[in-house]
């Protein structure tokens, strides 16, 4: 999935990434809310907010730096990384949430910008007696700001960015030069006595309000499409801005803690103005500069995310994609996407509450950051050969960033967290419905699953001796050359492997391995896999090319199981209307028994399966080794949804004088094993002198959905097919021979 647009002839270097990020980090929250946080939580509480925030943002910055040095990050920044890692469906879903959070961020910073005119609102309230709404400043500021960016483009935005960053740095310098202020009359704590941790119950509420202060570190990533060398500029610029922000915030909290009382910190949102040298002028200017620079960073990034989404045809309407993907000028400035961003920002500016907007964008940014950390972790875990970043993070940092992001969301607000994920799910369903041809699960998941499967296989192999002593479950293999003509054997294998067992089915192609037989096997495999898709089968399917049926069986029984445990059961199949096929099966049973396998021979008939008529299990008094095996197989097959309205019925053939004892023993076995078989479905059949076993079974199981019958080794040793032919008058039959007795735990 490469961007089809040609690369820019010119582009930015590292400085714009750094300044875009650092100006967004050192933004509105720094001036308006860190005084409040220090007052409510104390010095160590505010420090804890900074540490928790950076425990999320630093792994995210490392993850972005890592990914950016592995592949070229094109237009869309974070969206490009997510969509090219998780596929366009998941990428578009998170990308839309990311875009809205970026667009809302513009409103957030413009609303905060209006607070720099606090003196004007106070003057108006005192002189006129009327409190002006903040929108009197914020709405015109938004449109003037947007007009400037839209008219002059991203290049002029960067020139303006450098200017406002300069003002921001000067205001911070004057703040650090300031002296402590005297405590107010009602102050509960004097300046310099804020070194503690207060009001722990308010920690996560303040974290939600302050978290947007740390989100700016990815702002520069959104310029990826406008950079000469994203692989160099993104890691250096992002990491430098993140560390700069961390240092500045720690210093600011320390300065606040020693410079004002708790009550002043809590009640005066512009307390920094009272502390700084020339604070009444320089701090509002710094606030204005920081909020404008942050708004600019968001306004430069959000339209590019929307443009990248449209370029990937993420929206359901073709005209919508064309409209938002359209660029202006040689640098493809996202003019139309900027207009849409302006409209969304205007709506949230009208809301006008800094704390409310802050909590909304915190949730979506946490989802985005958690996703970026997860991408890095999955790449580490999956270890694809193509993942060779020049800058490397550590898997535990990425995993920690992901887990912490999710945990913090729930700690901030379980309601908003669940609501956020519901919105994400709704967007995904919308994207899934509108873009059915886009990729879903992509290589990053396949790599992780590959590694997980590999490690599980090795673990299970190392602990195989322990597993042999545990309860039995089937790991069945079946080989047949009649895969699509006789679908019932595939059904049988699906039933066995559905919940309690494992199954591998091999389509047999007789012949020598060649280009022709290999192509035939690939075509047949695709055909079989496609036939299983709608059935939600857990059966593993493969092909086997071999010169003979015997050599194919020898190969199959030596092949490792995908389950990690040894294969322990072989299923043969034949058409009951062609009993001569039994000779080939019986000729190879001793080969299979040499490997200590349980054996099943499935005789299928033309008539459809009558599921409601139940699974009949026939037990003879001299067949103890097969008895539990048959009962367990019946139980495992019954677990499949095909048999959901069915039942198991057990028949036991015994002499008249033993019938009571046999029934009591069976009832006890069923009760002890907690099997879903009612006592009414246990029937003891007395064998008379003038009836054969075949006649009795035919009489009672003629209409059964499936009949399970045991057979002895002597039938195998003498190659007798007469035994199997006795049951031609009933439907599908599964003949079983257990290598050893099974326990029903």
In which element (H, E) is residue 386 found? none
CB 36: neighbour CB atoms within 10 A? 22
Q: Which residue has the tokens 């873009």?
A: 435
The CA distance from 260 to 182, in Å, is: 7
Prediction pTM value: 0.61
The CA distance from 293 to 456, in Å, is: 51
The CA distance from 614 to 701, in Å, is: 9
Task: For the domain covering 14-443, report its CATH number.
Answer: 1.20.1740.10
CATH 1.20.1740.10 range(s) for the chain read 14-443
Output the pLDDT for position 563: 63
CA neighbor of 91 nearest in space, from 449, 447, 434, 428: 428
Output the pLDDT for position 223: 62
Question: How distant, in Å, are the alpha carbons of 271, 321, 334, 337, 693 from that of 318?
Answer: 51, 5, 17, 15, 70
The CA distance from 344 to 614, in Å, is: 61
CB 179 within 8 A of CB 275: yes
Q: Profile the chain (745 residues) by mean pLDDT over runs of 10 residues.
A: 44 78 81 88 92 90 78 67 73 82 84 81 78 83 82 62 81 90 55 70 85 75 67 82 91 91 85 89 86 78 86 82 82 84 88 69 81 82 68 86 90 84 80 63 60 64 55 86 87 88 90 91 89 80 92 88 78 89 88 90 89 90 83 89 89 79 81 77 79 83 91 72 80 90 77
Output the pLDDT for position 347: 87
Token pair for 335: 């003019």
Residues in the chain: 745
The CA distance from 367 to 345, in Å, is: 20
CATH 3.40.50.12370 range(s) for the chain read 463-737
* 3-state SS, residue 487: helix
Which of the listed CATH numbers 3.40.50.12370, 1.10.3720.10, 3.40.50.300, 1.10.1670.10 matches domain 463-737?
Answer: 3.40.50.12370
Strand pairing report for 475-480 and 733-737: unpaired
Output the pLDDT for position 252: 93
530 Cβ contact list (under 8 Å, min separation 6): none
């Amino acid at each position: 999935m490469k961007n089809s647009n040609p690369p820019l002839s010119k582009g930015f270097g590292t400085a714009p990434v750094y300044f875009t990020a650092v100006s967004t980090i050192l933004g509105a929250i720094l001036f308006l809310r860190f005084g409040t946080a220090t007052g409510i939580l104390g010095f160590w509480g505010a420090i804890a907010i900074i540490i928790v925030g950076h425990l999320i943002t630093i792994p995210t910055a490392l993850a972005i730096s890592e990914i950016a040095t592995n592949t070229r990050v094109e237009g869309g920044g974070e969206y490009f990384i997510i969509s090219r890692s998780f596929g366009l469906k998941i990428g578009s879903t998170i990308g839309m949430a990311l875009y809205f959070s970026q667009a809302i961020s513009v409103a957030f910073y413009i609303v905060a910008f209006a607070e720099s005119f606090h003196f004007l609102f106070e003057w108006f309230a005192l002189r006129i007696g009327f409190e002006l709404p903040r929108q009197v400043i914020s709405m015109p500021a938004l449109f003037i700001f947007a007009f400037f960016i839209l008219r002059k483009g991203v290049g002029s935005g960067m020139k303006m960015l450098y200017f406002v960053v300069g003002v921001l740095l000067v205001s911070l310098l004057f703040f650090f030069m300031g002296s402590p202020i005297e405590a107010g009359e009602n102050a509960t704590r004097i300046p310099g006595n804020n070194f503690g941790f207060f009001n722990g119950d308010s920690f996560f509420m303040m974290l939600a309000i302050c978290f947007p202060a740390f989100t700016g570190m990815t702002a520069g990533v959104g310029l990826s499409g406008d950079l000469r060398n994203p692989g160099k500029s993104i890691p250096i610029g992002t990491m430098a801005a993140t560390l700069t922000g961390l240092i500045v915030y720690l210093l600011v909290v320390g300065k606040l803690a020693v410079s004002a009382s708790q009550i002043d910190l809590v009640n005066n949102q512009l307390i920094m103005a009272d502390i700084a040298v020339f604070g009444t002028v320089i701090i509002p200017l710094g606030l204005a500069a920081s909020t404008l620079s942050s708004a600019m960073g968001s306004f430069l990034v959000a339209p590019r995310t929307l443009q990248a989404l449209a370029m990937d045809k993420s929206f359901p309407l073709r005209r919508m994609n064309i409209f938002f993907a359209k660029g202006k000028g040689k640098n493809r400035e996202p003019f139309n996407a900027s207009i849409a961003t302006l409209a969304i920002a205007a709506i949230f500016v009208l809301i006008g509450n800094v704390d409310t907007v802050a909590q909304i964008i915190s949730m979506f940014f946490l989802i985005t950051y958690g996703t970026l950390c997860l991408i890095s972790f999955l790449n580490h875990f999956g270890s694809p050969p193509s993942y060779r970043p020049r800058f490397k993070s550590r898997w535990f940092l990425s995993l920690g960033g992901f887990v912490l992001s999710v945990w913090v969301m729930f700690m901030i607000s379980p309601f908003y967290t669940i609501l956020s994920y519901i919105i994400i799910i709704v967007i995904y369903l919308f994207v899934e419905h509108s873009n059915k041809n886009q990729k879903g699960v992509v290589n990053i998941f396949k790599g992780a699953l590959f590694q997980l499967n590999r490690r599980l296989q090795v673990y299970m192999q190392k602990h195989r001796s322990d597993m042999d002593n545990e309860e039995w479950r089937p790991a069945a293999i079946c080989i047949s050359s009649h895969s699509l003509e006789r679908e019932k054997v595939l059904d049988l294998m699906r039933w066995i492997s559905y919940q309690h067992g494992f199954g591998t089915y091999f389509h047999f192609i007789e012949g020598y391995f060649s280009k022709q037989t290999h192509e035939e096997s690939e075509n047949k495999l695709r055909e079989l896999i496609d036939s299983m898709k709608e059935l939600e089968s857990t059966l593993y399917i493969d092909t086997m090319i071999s010169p003979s049926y015997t050599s194919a069986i020898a190969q199959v029984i030596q092949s490792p199981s995908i389950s990690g445990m040894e294969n322990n059961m072989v299923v043969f199949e034949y058409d009951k209307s062609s009993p001569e096929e039994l000779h080939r099966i019986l000729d190879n049973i001793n080969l299979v028994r040499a490997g200590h396998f349980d054996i099943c021979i499935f005789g299928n008939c033309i008539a459809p399966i009558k599921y409601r008529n139940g699974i009949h299990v026939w037990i003879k008094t001299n067949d103890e080794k097969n008895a539990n095996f048959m009962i367990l197989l019946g139980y495992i097959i019954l677990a499949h949804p095909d048999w959901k309205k069915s039942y198991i019925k057990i028949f036991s053939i015994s002499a008249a004088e033993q019938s009571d004892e046999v029934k009591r023993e069976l009832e006890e076995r069923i009760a002890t094993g907690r099997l879903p078989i009612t006592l009414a479905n246990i029937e003891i059949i007395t064998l008379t002198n003038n009836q054969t076993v075949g006649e009795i079974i035919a009489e009672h199981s003629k209409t059964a959905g499936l009949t399970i019958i045991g057979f002895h080794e002597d039938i195998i040793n003498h190659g007798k097919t007469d035994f199997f032919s006795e049951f031609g008058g009933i439907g599908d039959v599964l003949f079983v021979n257990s290598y050893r007795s099974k326990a029903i735990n």
